[in-house]
Amino acid sequence: MTQPSVPNSEPRCVPCRLAAIGALVLAVAGGFAYTAGWLTPARLTTSRLINTFETVAGQPHPGYRRNHAKGLCVEGYFDSNGSGATVSRAAVFAPGRTPVTGRFAVPGGNPSAPDTSSPVRSLALQFQLANGEQWRTGMNSTPVFAVHTPAQFYQQLLAAKPDPATRKPDPAKLKAFYASNPETLPFQNWVKAHPPSSSLANAAYYGINAFRFTDGAGTTRAVRWAMVPETPYAPITDAQKAEMNFLQADLDQRLDSGPLRWHLILTVAQPGDPTDDATLQWPDARQHIDAGTLVLDRTTSQENGTCRDINFDPTILPAGIAPSDDPLLAARSAAYALSYQRRTREEALHPAIHQTHANGDRS
Amino acid sequence: MTPARTHFSPLARLLHWTMAPLIVAMLFIGVGMVASVSRAHNTLVAIHKPLGIALLLLVVLRVAVRITRGAPPLPADMATPQRIAAKASHLVLYALMVAMPLIGWGMLSAAGYPVTLYGPLHLPPIAPHDVALFALLRALHTWLAFTLFATVLLHLAAALFHGLIRRDGVFSSMARSDR
């Protein structure tokens, strides 16, 4: 490139040069298509994961989340007592109050599913920090997750796919999945030993994944958290098991007599505790920090409540909390984003989508 | 500035060659991060947002440089359709370089996400929290990214056509100085 070319001199082998330009453009375009996952149908991409959720849900439920579709919005606040600041410099742990918008939900892609369709319930929260930062979390009522990796999660989804004839999952397929994936054992054992609670209010909700907390001095530790209820646990009753929808009415009734409280318990890992495996609990002897009280004082329907337009992406974190190396976290973030993209598009194209549901189906 | 300038100014060239690999990287990062469910997703998102804002700052400077310093004239023997294609594709490139980061910022705002850059550093929202607006901007971000990628490929092919086949000085006007 040091010798200036002579303008308009006849180049040698024009077809070779054209071919070279074409090959370069094709290579870049091919690389782009490969990166997007368009050339590798077997690769587990975000869209394949969400498409499978939609298949498992049976019929489409436009405007609803692709998982944990059934739920309700809650409002309240978090009163930090300052103890969390010993492990994280996040402003939410300084003493004081942070407004919270949340959502209780039942797993699965069907917004009208029975409350008892899964032994698991979830609580998602968004803490709106005064400095403009946010902390979003999606928690489950089980301290361990069923699977370790996104690929395993996908296999579990496939095993739960409804049989075209019965329109129900094939129990043999699910059994085969659990048998060939021993990582699911801690989850199965925990669910067997802990019947679901009688209410959304008397369950503990666990942050599922480990996170990295960094304190004011720059020290980073692995931490898991749980929202532990003040309301004492009671198991689900037989009468409740026979009902399709009891969780929201129960919660509303309890809130009529006053706000409900949970304690944010931070569990600090010791070196060697697994941070990349949500199927494994840490030993009980780990340090627990009660960082403050979550107070929920009112519900709104998910069709027009403030939680509807929130994607509870667990990787949206304030400075002082960061994702761990748990492979599920990135998959959750990617999948939630696509679910949000699809359902907001459906809402934008059909603005009345939730009005038809809000009358008959308040769940 | 001499009127018969044959090359872009050093600042224009610096901006072009800084932004070109970053824009191509942004397109690959963008399409890769939305497809990936691996840990790379988190890393790529954490790069995509601050890099997009950096490119917005760079393109503002670049538009100012382009307006004040102009571009060397195209060779006199270029056919009119080619001239029109050249001008139009550059207009599209500039428009998309400005639009893409603004749409990205607006789309995060409309979804209610904090526009995080690094640590606690984040930008204010530039749009109201409105999911219908988000849906529109989110779709635009994808389709305009594909348009930008196609235009970049066309630009690359045309630049190499000028440099390797026509050898008319158009490629070297951006590739090197006139000294």
pLDDT of res. B93: 98
Is the CB of A218 inside 8 Å of chain B's CB atoms? no
Q: Where in chain A does DSSP place strands (E)?
A: 70-80, 96-106, 122-128, 134-140, 205-206, 211-214, 220-229, 260-268, 287-301, 321-323
Asked whether the beta carbons of A338 and A46 are under 8 A apart, the reply is yes
Picking from B31, B37, B166 by the largest number of A CB atoms within 10 A of its own CB, the best residue to mutate is B37
Is the CB of A249 inside 8 Å of chain B's CB atoms? no
Is the CB of A164 inside 8 Å of chain B's CB atoms? no
Chain B residue whose CA is closest to A342: B135
Asked whether the beta carbons of A281 and A143 are under 8 A apart, the reply is yes
DSSP helix/strand/coil, A343: helix
pLDDT of res. A361: 43
Quote the CA–CA distance of B101 and B92 in Å, as a whole number.
15
DSSP helix/strand/coil, B86: helix
pLDDT of res. A8: 54
Sign of the CA dihedral with B122 first, then A89, A336, and A298 last: negative
Which residue in the set A7, A333, A335 is minimally distant from B168, CB to CB? A7
DSSP helix/strand/coil, A26: helix
DSSP helix/strand/coil, B56: helix
Non-local CB neighbours of A97 within 8 Å, separated by 6+ positions:
A77, A78, A79, A80
Which residues in chain B are closer than 8 Å to A49, comparing Cβ atoms?
Answer: 37
Chain A, 59 to 98: residues with Cβ < 8 Å from chain B are: 91
If phi > 0 it is left, if psi is from -120 to 50 it is alpha, else beta; for residue A272 that is: left
Is the CB of B169 inside 8 Å of chain A's CB atoms? yes
Fold of the CATH domain A45-360: Catalase HpII,  Chain A, domain 1 (2.40.180)
Is the CB of B21 inside 8 Å of chain A's CB atoms? no
pLDDT of res. B4: 58
Which residue in the set B114, B157, B167 is minimally distant from A9, CB to CB? B167
Q: Where in B91-165 does DSSP place strands (E)?
A: 115-118, 121-123
DSSP state of A203: -
Report, as an integer, the average pLDDT of A303-315.
94
Which residues in chain A are closer than 8 Å to B135, comparing Cβ atoms?
Answer: 341, 344-345, 347-349
Q: What is the pLDDT of residues B3-45, one digit of tens each?
A: 558 899 999 999 999 999 999 999 999 999 999 999 999 999 9
Q: What is the pLDDT of residues A161-207, one digit of tens each?
A: 888 888 788 889 999 999 999 999 999 999 999 999 999 999 999 99
Non-local CB neighbours of A82 within 8 Å, separated by 6+ positions:
A93, A94, A95, A292
Taking an 8 Å cut-off on Cβ atoms, the answer to whether B119 and A319 are in contact is: yes
Chain A residue whose CA is closest to B133: A348
pTM as predicted: 0.93
Taking an 8 Å cut-off on Cβ atoms, the answer to whether B37 and A150 are in contact is: yes
Note the Cα B109 to chain centre separation in Å.
21
Chain B, 52 to 91: residues with Cβ < 8 Å from chain A are: 75, 77
Chain B, 118 to 137: residues with Cβ < 8 Å from chain A are: 119-120, 122, 124, 129, 131-132, 134-136
What are the structural domain ranges in chain A?
Answer: 45-360
If phi > 0 it is left, if psi is from -120 to 50 it is alpha, else beta; for residue A210 that is: beta
Q: What is the pLDDT of residues A84-110, one digit of tens each?
A: 999 999 999 999 999 999 999 999 999
Which residue in the set B38, B157, B167 is minimally distant from A25, CB to CB? B157
The residues of A assigned a catalytic role are 68
Residue B73 has pLDDT above 50, yes or no: yes
Q: What is the pLDDT of residues A11-67, one digit of tens each?
A: 889 999 999 999 999 999 999 999 999 999 999 999 999 999 999 988 899 999 999
DSSP helix/strand/coil, A170: coil
Which residues in chain A are closer than 8 Å to B164, comparing Cβ atoms?
Answer: 11, 17, 20-21
Asked whether the beta carbons of A209 and A183 are under 8 A apart, the reply is no
Cα–Cα separations (whole angstroms), residue A340 to A63, A120, A346? 9, 22, 10
pLDDT of res. B179: 66
Asked whether the beta carbons of A128 and A76 are under 8 A apart, the reply is no
Which residues in chain B are closer than 8 Å to A134, comparing Cβ atoms?
Answer: 113-114
Quote the CA–CA distance of A91 and A81 in Å, as a whole number.
12
Which two tokens mark A360? 């008959």
pLDDT of res. A198: 96
Q: What is the pLDDT of residues A331-357, one digit of tens each?
A: 999 999 999 999 999 999 998 887 755
Which residues in chain A are closer than 8 Å to B151, comparing Cβ atoms?
Answer: none
Is the CB of A3 inside 8 Å of chain B's CB atoms? no
Taking an 8 Å cut-off on Cβ atoms, the answer to whether A11 and B164 are in contact is: yes
Closest CA to B107 of A234, A184, A344: A344
